[in-house]
Amino acid sequence: MTRANGTSPRTPLLDRVDSPADLRALPDGLLPDLAAQIRAFLIDRVCRTGGHLGPNLGVVELTLALHRVFDVREGGDVLLFDTGHQSYVHKLLTGRREGFDGLRSEGGLSGYPSRAESGTDVIENSHASTALSYADGLAKALALRGERRRRVVALVGDGALTGGMSLEALNNLGAAPDRPVVVVLNDNGRSYSPTAGGLAAHLARLRGADPPATSDTATSDTGTGHGGVFTALGLAYLGPVDGHDTRAVEEALREAAALGRPAVVHCVTGKGRGYPPAERDRADHLHTVGVVDPRTGRARSPSGPSWTSVFGEEIAAIGAERPDVVCVTAAMPGPTGLEAFARRFPGRVFDVGIAEQHAVTSAAGLALGGARPVVAVYSTFLGRAFDQVLMDAALHRLPVVLVLDRAGVTGPDGPSHHGMWDAALLPVVPGLRLAAPRDCAALRELLREAVAEDGGPTALRYPKASAGPDVPAQARIGHCDLLREDPAADVLLLGVGPMAGACLEASRMLAARGVRTSAADPRWIAPLDNALVELAAAHPLVLTAEDATAANSLGARLGQELARRGSPTRTVTLALPPRFLPHGPRAGILDEHGLDPAGIAAAVLDHLPHGGSRPGAPGHPGHSGVRRERSTR
């Protein structure tokens, strides 16, 4: 790891490896030293930049073996990662060492496989449980093209195996005995936290603690376990193998490849291997890290309260008041902020594994039984359960609360993790109410309103970031909070969620240019609040700023409703474009798309006559007639 004087570790052996060919040329006896140098390199670089540390430290020998046995290149064997956050060693071995200095920064190396970086990166995945389905389809395509000598290899974590798609793919792979797919099961007993469910117990028995009573398929010389569910589905099973013994893994992989049929190689590894802070980290805080001290694994400087931590505190407080409140998570109790709730009410938290579809419908069942379920999930992963939100929760008008962490621009995790789509998808769900808190106080308030809702599902969305200071309201109109009120204003700025603070600052900037504006926070952004529509209609120009895709945004829906009512109000929507955005700092991406105070102010000036050079405009007729209630905050 990094030395006490701050210099990088010496890695002379790693310096000689720029390609899989270089790796295969090394004598077996040098592989342990190479593995140690790779770990030292990863600890040094990832602690500087942030990234997924624990998973990659656990797959060093495994990845070495994969690249020594299989010819992974364009036109050669295909290597798929599930999930892609365990691909750092693969990147090192395929000539991308220099890119680690800019890991997950703007223009730098992606934290996941990237087709733009290397032809050996076939899928750009970070959503778990997909690789086996990709493997099934790729193997079929190669067979149709007569390329049967190319092997398809999928490295799958035991956590990813809990997802429904993995089981669906295994069901199909097992029915095709002539398909040469090698499933490498990286079994470390964890995803973000200990792997949940009956499958985890089954894998533990395969590891030898309590072997299954029967097995109808032969085992391999490389292990003494039984194939269990894998052989029952028709796949060959080899293992368990020590995943940190490169030679043993190589032998098992060669045997699996020689079979010419779908096979599982069960490798047992330790997450965070070789880095004491990660090995001791049972809460998995070092699964992914920001910039940390490599000696301790702790953040170098404290940050303010995160949205996640505020949610965690408030849902625990609500749980103490309401015994009917239960929480559901898809393998992420820690990252979604449920640790405090779980400590206080362990029997009321249900970790269903990486299975968002099941999580939502199970929550619907909990609601049918009289519980008040809160489903905590990343925004990007909710898309996997859209049908369940629509047909299982909303159709039955069940009070399921969806708490969407990492909404909007997430920053360094890139296009598959930006939570841009929930605010476009959820407004089409009949009866669902969607909220976006602007600050910590609003999050607490809106969460309580959501839990109290009896008429159907609700959802709250907030970003991956430190929460700023609370923004007080001057008045409340319907569900909308007025943050800056000017009866003579002919411009209304509507900031969705954290964009409310940016709109308020833009309003002050515009005032210095002689442009009079009001600023408001809609709070509940779907369905449209009639009072919000009336407030917007009282202004000639309304601008919405939204940390979500422009498609089906609040601004788009508000403009359609105003047009339907025949209002002359003009609406302008500042939002994210409907395309996949690259990784980079959250603030930088927002600035690039005009979602900062200066960008918002500039957009207003662009849409005012004479660029806003005139002094304040007279108030719009009827503006003063909108009913206001004083805010209680």
Residue 89 vs residue 205, higher pLDDT:
89
Structural domains of the chain ordered from first start: 14-289 (3.40.50.970), 307-461 (3.40.50.970), 475-625 (3.40.50.920)
Percent of the chain scoring above 90 in pLDDT: 73
Q: Is 384 a catalytic residue?
A: yes
Mean pLDDT of the residues in the chain: 89
Hey, which bits of 330-383 come out as E strands? Answer: 349-351, 372-378
Q: How large is the average pLDDT for residues 391-401? A: 98
Q: How large is the average pLDDT for residues 82-103? A: 92
pLDDT attached to residue 209: 56
Q: Which amino acid is at 16?
A: R
Q: How large is the average pLDDT for residues 481-501? A: 96
* Order of strands across the sheet that contains 236-242: 78-82, 152-157, 181-187, 263-268, 236-242
Whether the pLDDT of residue 216 is over 60: the answer is no
Q: How large is the average pLDDT for residues 460-484? A: 95
d(CA 393, CA 368): 10
Entry pTM = 0.88
pLDDT attached to residue 282: 61
Helices (H), 154-289: 164-173, 198-206, 228-232, 246-259, 276-279
pLDDT bin (cut points 50, 70, 90) of residue 598 is very high
Question: What pLDDT, in 10s, does the model give residues 285-325?
Answer: 667 777 777 777 777 655 678 999 999 999 999 999 999 99
Residue positions in the annotated binding site for thiamine diphosphate? 85, 126-128, 159-160, 188, 275, 356
Of 384, 433, 438, 461, which is the active-site residue? 384
d(CA 466, CA 459): 20
pLDDT attached to residue 83: 82
Residue positions in the annotated binding site for Mg(2+)? 158, 188
Whether the pLDDT of residue 457 is over 50: the answer is yes
pLDDT bin (cut points 50, 70, 90) of residue 470 is very high
Q: With left for phi above 0 and alpha for psi between -120 and 50, is residue 137 left, alpha or beta?
A: alpha
pLDDT attached to residue 51: 85
* Choice among 20-24, 129-133, 189-193, 527-531 with the minimum mean pLDDT: 189-193
pLDDT attached to residue 283: 57
pLDDT attached to residue 499: 97
d(CA 409, CA 411): 6
pLDDT attached to residue 208: 77
Whether the pLDDT of residue 95 is over 60: the answer is yes
Whether the pLDDT of residue 612 is over 80: the answer is no
pLDDT attached to residue 300: 63
pLDDT attached to residue 189: 77
Contact at 8 Å (CB) between 92 and 38? Answer: yes
Q: How large is the average pLDDT for residues 213-232? A: 55
Of 271, 273, 516, 557, which is the active-site residue? 271
Residue positions in the annotated binding site? 85, 126-128, 158-160, 188, 275, 356
Residue 45 vs residue 303, higher pLDDT:
45
Q: Please name which of 23, 84, 32, 86 lies closest in space to residue 54, comparing C-alpha atoms.
A: 86
Question: What pLDDT, in 10s, does the model give residues 535-593?
Answer: 999 999 999 999 999 999 999 999 999 999 999 999 999 999 999 999 989 999 999 99
pLDDT bin (cut points 50, 70, 90) of residue 622 is very low
Residue 47 vs residue 620, higher pLDDT:
47
Whether the pLDDT of residue 17 is over 70: the answer is yes
Whether the pLDDT of residue 4 is over 80: the answer is no
Residue in the structure block whose two tokens are 């990486």: 354
Q: How large is the average pLDDT for residues 264-293? A: 78
Q: Is 140 a catalytic residue?
A: no
Whether the pLDDT of residue 416 is over 90: the answer is no
Question: Helices 499-512 & 597-606, crossing angle to 10 degrees?
Answer: 60
Residue in the structure block whose two tokens are 């996949």: 580
pLDDT attached to residue 632: 32
Percent of the chain scoring above 70 in pLDDT: 90
pLDDT attached to residue 234: 94
Of 251, 356, 505, 546, which is the active-site residue? 356
The radius of gyration of the chain's CA atoms, rounded to the nearest angstrom, is 27
pLDDT attached to residue 301: 58
Six token digits for residue 294: 């490599």
3-state secondary structure of 167: helix
Question: What pLDDT, in 10s, does the model give residues 537-547?
Answer: 999 999 999 99
Question: What pLDDT, in 10s, does the model give residues 319-351?
Answer: 999 999 999 999 999 999 999 999 999 999 999
